[in-house]
Amino acid sequence: MAMTQARPANATAARQGLVDCDVHVFPRSTDELKEYLPMPWRDRYSGGGRGFFGNPVHGSRLDSKPPAGGPPGSDPDFLRRQLVDEYGHAYCILLPRAFCNLHPDPDFGTAIAAAYNDWLADTWLSKYNHDGVFKGSITVNTQDPPAAAREIARWAGHPHFVQVMTDSGARAPFGQRQYYPIYEACERHGLRFAIHPGTDGMGINVQPSPGYPTHYIEWHTCLSLAFQAHLVSFLTEGVFERFPGFGITLTEGGVSWLPALLWRLDAEWKALRSEVPWLTRAPSAYLRDHVRLSSQPLENPDNPKQLLQIFEMMDAAHTLMFASDYPHWDFDSPTHAFPKLPEDLHRRIFSETAREWYGLA
């Protein structure tokens, strides 16, 4: 099964390789990141864990720890061997985990976001990226939207940053107007806005379930609740009317809930359209132009035909993009996570949709 040849040498072969929309890379140590933090933050920063709700078994694949040392996802040679070469990745969309949204001090959160961006640009997007397989996400701190917009502008035009990203953990749904400086900057610079689970209910952020769940299994299952709330907010607030060139990537927020949620929202809209008169079409009609979901962790019913039906319901050929979540514990294997797909649908999910969405060759 392992592909042992080097990365595709010609453009045609590269076009056939898969695009993995959720790959996590980490500094080799907290000190490596601190080199990119100015004072006074450098002295105050002690790493970016989320605190509670750690996986009680293990947080990363046990075989993802680099033999040469350092945490999972920190060694580019080993990541290339275990992921890029193993499965023939053409592109990895990198999402560092800065967890900057949980800080009570917005300046601290913004400084951490900037340090992660400088670190990523210096390492994975340049030193480790001779062939351009790595594409990055600009981390922003959503509790200070004007500062986040300036951070986006700082990286505009970079050849390897393809989107802006933040945690799903927030103090308010993302469709609300205080966030618009971020979306205006994304639209202006042609960058997608990705939301990834993290910092939900942590620090200053609210928990999207009624109160705090007891167990990791509850917290982790219910991460998709935040995504559903954020999506409904984006749609009903008219964000995609206000910023017609703006699009969101819902990363690791679940997949199969989408059709039922949109049926419900469309039904509400038929009766309550007058409350949100800026919508020019049914809420679900905005999906194809403005929303993509990444696949991992893919819900798999016992009967795989049912998943294929859900794919049809959600127009997966145009809305779903493969993601592995390497090196995390719930990694989805490109060769085993999906049921057998029709060839054209496979090509859409594993390659074409992401290339169109991110403007990749």
- Residues in touch with other proteins (CB under 8 A): 1, 55, 57-58, 61-63, 329-333, 335-337
Q: How many angstroms separate the Cα of 124 from the Cα of each of 23, 128, 231?
A: 12, 5, 30
Choice between 32 and 330, CB closer to other proteins = 330
CA–CA dist 203, 106 (Å, integer): 12
Comparing CB distances to other proteins, the nearer of 62 and 153 is: 62
Of 243 and 329, nearer to other proteins (C-beta) is: 329
In the chain, the DSSP E strands lie at 18-23, 89-94, 134-139, 161-167, 192-196, 248-250, 291-294, 320-321
* Closer by beta carbon to other proteins, 2 or else 11: 2
Q: In the complex, what is the shortest distance from the CB of residue 277 to other proteins, in angstroms, rounded to a whole number?
A: 46
CA 102 to chain CA centroid, Å, is 17
Q: Minimum distance from CB of 330 to other proteins (Å)?
A: 6
Residue number, 220 or 318, with CB nearest to other proteins: 220
Neighbours of 40 (CB within 10 A): 11
Contact 11, 361 (CB under 8 A): yes
For residue 134, the one-letter residue type is: F
Nearest approach, Cβ of residue 311 and other proteins (Å)? 19
* Minimum CB distance to other proteins smaller for 350 or for 358: 350
Name the minimum Å distance from CB 58 to other proteins. 6
Nearest distance, CB of residue 354 and other proteins, angstroms: 21
Q: To the nearest whole angstrom, how small is the minimum distance from the Cβ of residue 211 to other proteins?
A: 18
DSSP E strand stretches across 71-182? 89-94, 134-139, 161-167
- β-strands 192-196, 161-167: how paired? parallel
